[in-house]
Structure 1
């Protein structure tokens, strides 16, 4: 399913450090240096007349519980027409580096809450991006035990909430190249990794083809300048 972005609409990217990508949080318009910035730039370059506003509210280290805690201020209050969510890898990672797991039931409960609240409060299209890991060693390959059920939750919620799913979990594995082209640590992306992520996002999002309510007047032939 393709998401159509209305003219002069607002698109919100929200999630963890992959979305954050070193954005200046004091500047509400800063898009960071990652896939969100790239997708916004490419969309705008291709469709400048649409005058779409893009916002980034990624915060490094966030889990889905953190997203739920700030959803009112960082999503609902901004009234976007498109909400793009990428969350979940920290819910897995903290199990392995801090012995602080997020159970699948808790993950689904909190994710379902933010989607349900959005459906109740906003007339917004939803884009759900799968969490992913690009394992560089056997230790990270073992993370799949924890991550795979969470990816399944995101897929199930996308179907339930009529959201567009961006299936990125397999995208990196499908590319026939060294995984270090995409990542230095298995989670955070290189510029090439962010570009691949942005490309997949852009395949799911297009401008609304509805003509503007007040089209510009046609140019007059022979008008002196």
Structure 2
């Protein structure tokens, strides 16, 4: 008897950045795969560092569908919030297409909402608040679509794990091995409750020693610096504009308008998807 097929789609979080094993990354999805069944699980990790929802839709989705997975995870969105091209309407449409495609194949869909990058980076309030607002919008869309497609959804945007330093790697954005294990354990628990996972739960305790401070600094000085520079080049000019707008609204006491504007955009994005879904029936 063969075990289930598990495909993981997404960005650096699912690729496993922060959980080094040998010359590569392991991550929560690989840890979870081992606990899906007592039989051998056919696990394929299609996630790529830096991926946005467009990349998942155009590149990872076709490959994922070809695998015809029994279980598929789609965890993506943080990189979208870090780009000047951020568009919650387009994001919602892409995620809707991705989720629908896998559910039509009968796959069990795994999704998650995530902490906002501004808080994790420890940015000043005027810079962090716009990113937090974007991430809340993404999470709201993921929540709504997860419910629509009956996904196994993990609420990972809040909780003590987001503030425990041991859960995060030196870049403060990707989980450490302990953090990746926490995600795997929590997903496994929900899957057991759904009757999907039948294997042994992943261990919550790290297998490898915590990287030394010098090793962490070396990573930041090499790969980490490049990672930050690539995103800052794209995001920084707009982020400064957003911060100025944020400070202007706070000075006027009208910050609530920004939250209302973001909430309205989410509502309109989801409404648009519902209208498109109803059109074929009305024809």
Scaled by the length of structure 2, the TM-score of the pair is: 0.59
Please give the residue correspondences for 1:56-95 in structure 2 after superposition, counting only pairs within 5 Å.
56-94=45-83
Change (3 A) 1:159 1:181: closer
Change (3 A) 1:159 1:7: farther
2:46·2:60 contact (CA, 8 Å) conserved in 1?
Answer: no
Q: Secondary structure at the match of 1:11?
A: strand
Query: In 2, distance between residues paired with 1:116 and 1:35?
Result: 24
1:59-86: CA deviations, max 9, x gaps?
1111101110014432100100111111
Q: Which one has the bigger helix percentage?
A: 2
Q: Secondary structure at the match of 2:72?
A: strand
Question: Are 1:51 and 2:37 an aligned pair?
Answer: no
1:168·1:200 contact (CA, 8 Å) conserved in 2?
Answer: no
Query: In 1, distance between residues paired with 2:137 and 2:163?
Result: 26
Give the counterpart of 1:130 among 107, 113, 118.
Answer: 113
* Equivalent position of 1:187 in the other structure: 173
The worse-fitting range, judged by mean Cα deviation, of 58-67 and 177-186 is 177-186
* Equivalent position of 2:184 in the other structure: 198
CA RMSD across the alignment: 2.8
2:32·2:185 contact (CA, 8 Å) conserved in 1?
Answer: yes
2:52·2:79 contact (CA, 8 Å) conserved in 1?
Answer: yes
1:160-189: CA deviations, max 9, x gaps?
11111111111xx42495436424333222
Greater RCO, CA 8 A, separation 6+: 1
Query: In 1, distance between residues paired with 2:86 and 2:28?
Result: 26
2:9·2:60 contact (CA, 8 Å) conserved in 1?
Answer: no
Query: In 1, distance between residues paired with 2:103 and 2:160?
Result: 33
Query: In 2, distance between residues paired with 1:175 and 1:75?
Result: 30
* Equivalent position of 1:14 in the other structure: 9
Gapped regions of structure 2 (runs ≥ 5): 18-23, 199-283
| Per-residue deviation, 1:115 | 1.3
| Per-residue deviation, 1:142 | 4.2
